[in-house]
A = this chain, B = another copy of it.
């Protein structure tokens, strides 16, 4: 398994990228291609004993910053670490790519370099959303702010294949995130998507509501990229707010303070379970290659998890499974 890692993207690049990559090479024997400014990477690697580890470097003279305009930056910086990482997958020198920097630029680079899977108009970001039991897959988590009903159907198909191949869930259940349970509820987009989903052969259980998101009711939480992105970021923020308010309450009484101290380990576990960043990044589904996008603030462990997620994507052969499904979906349906 050969994974190209964009070593220059993210808040702690390349230090944490290199550390996470070394872990993956050491623990799992994953072949790592670090893509970035060669000198900088060599310097970083010199701090570790990496003899015998399958780690190579591909030099990239340019880096795309977190604040740069995605499509514009990708077109302008042809030798950026993210663009060259994608090139390695396209040419077959790598089996998958892991990026932790500018999400928009990563999506733009993947679409431009790897291309879309034929029949899929819009690739989607699939993100693990923690719940009581484990996690559901939320998609689209932000790649497409404006969607058509057919896009939502494609997201549902891609999410189902992902959960089947990677999480080994047979006929994973799909819930359409909506503002009411009845089929006629919601905006025009959701009413029409509901109809398409009912007619499809995925395991569509109908509409679900906001209160079901973390209840673990379904394997796949289906929505457009605008709603998905708001939900994802809300989930990231709500935990922090709840802890802040609880802290304020606890400070008011010595007894509660003592209780808070005793509960510290439980809080820590809870915080970890609730943090989407713990799940090793999000997957870009619908492009012709395996692409995992980690959180910009990833430390070594998150980088390692993202590399592992990419390996799972390659092993599960998700890309080919999507290709096959879409090809057999029906004449012209994917071409609208």
Chain A residues engaging chain B, CB cutoff 8 angstroms: 131-132, 142, 145-146, 177-179, 185-188, 190, 209-215, 223, 225-227, 229-239, 241-242, 244-246, 248-250, 252-253, 255-256, 258-263, 265-267, 269-270, 273-274
Given A145-B190, A179-B225, A263-B256, A241:B270 Cβ within 8 A: no
What is the count of identical protomers in the complex? Answer: 2
Question: Complex Cα distance A232/B223, Å?
Answer: 16
Closest to A177 in B: B230
Choose among A230, A246, A274 the residue with the greatest number of B CB atoms under 10 Å from its CB.
A230
A258-B269 in contact (CB<8A): no
| Known interface pairs A210-B237, A230-B231, A238-B238; 5 further A-B residue pairs with C-beta atoms within 8 A, sorted by A's residue number | A146-B188, A209-B233, A234-B234, A259-B259, A262-B262
Q: How far is the CA of A9 from the CA of B185 in the complex (A)?
A: 21
Residues of B within 8 A of A239 (CB): 242
Question: Are A132 and B259 closer than 8 Å at their CB atoms?
Answer: no
Does A213 contact B226, Cβ atoms closer than 8 Å? no
From A263, which residue of chain B is reached at the shortest CB distance?
A: B259
Q: Given A179-B226, A232-B210, A245-B270, does the pair A265, B238 have CB atoms closer than 8 Å?
A: no
Interface pair A236/B258, CB less than 8 Å apart: no
Pairwise interchain contact B226-A242, C-beta atoms closer than 8 A: no
Q: Are B270 and A262 in contact (CB under 8 A)?
A: no
**B211 lies within 8 A of A237 (CB):** yes
Hey, which chain B residues are within 8 Å of A241, CB to CB? Answer: 131-132, 214-215
Q: Which of B225, B233, B242 contacts A211 (CB 8 A)?
A: B233
Q: What's the nearest-Cβ distance from chain B to residue A23, in Å?
A: 27
The distance in angstroms between the C-alpha atoms of A227 and B234, with both chains bound, is 12
A242 interface neighbour in B210, B258, B270, Cβ under 8 Å: B270
- List, in ascending order, chain B residues with CB within 8 A of A185's CB: 145
* A231 neighbours in B (Cβ, 8 Å): 210, 230-231, 234
Query: Is B266 within 8 A of A179, CB to CB?
Result: no
Point out the residue from B142, B188, B249 that lies within 8 Å of A179, measured CB to CB: B142
A274 touches B245 (CB 8 A): yes
Can you list 14 A-B pairs with a CB-CB distance of less than 8 A?
A: A145-B185, A145-B186, A146-B187, A177-B230, A179-B226, A211-B237, A214-B238, A214-B241, A234-B234, A245-B270, A245-B274, A253-B265, A253-B266, A262-B262
Q: Tell me the bound Cα distance from A51 to B61 in angstroms.
A: 85
CA distance A27 to B49 in the complex (A): 76
Cβ B234 vs Cβ A213 within 8 A: yes
Partner of A230, one of B227, B244, B259, B261: B227
